[in-house]
Amino acid sequence: MTKPSRLDYCQYLLTTLINWTLTHFADHCEQFSHDQINRYLAECDPRFYDGDGD
């Protein structure tokens, strides 16, 4: 299995209209497990999510 990337996560968010849970992402993306996605998000810089970027 490969690791999730920022591109994978952003594409998931853009194409998912309602349910943005890790479980939903893992259920619909066979290449990533729930734990892999959870570890990826835990390592992400919080500025990635708040739109601030500074």
| pLDDT tens sequence across 22-54 | 889 999 888 999 899 989 888 887 665 555 544
Residue 54 has what pLDDT?
Answer: 46
Mean pLDDT score, 9-14:
90
Note whether residue 45 is domain-resident.
yes
Say which residue the tokens 């990337």 belong to: 5
Does 34 reside within a domain? yes
Q: CA 28, CA 38: separation in Å to the nearest integer?
A: 15
Distance CA 22, CA 12 (A): 10
Q: How many domains does the chain have?
A: 1
What does residue 14 show for φ and ψ, rounded to 5 degrees?
-70, -30
Cβ–Cβ < 8 Å for 2, 31: yes
Closest CA to 25 of 50, 53, 36, 45: 36
Classify residue 1: in a domain, yes or no. Answer: no
| 40: containing domain | 6-50
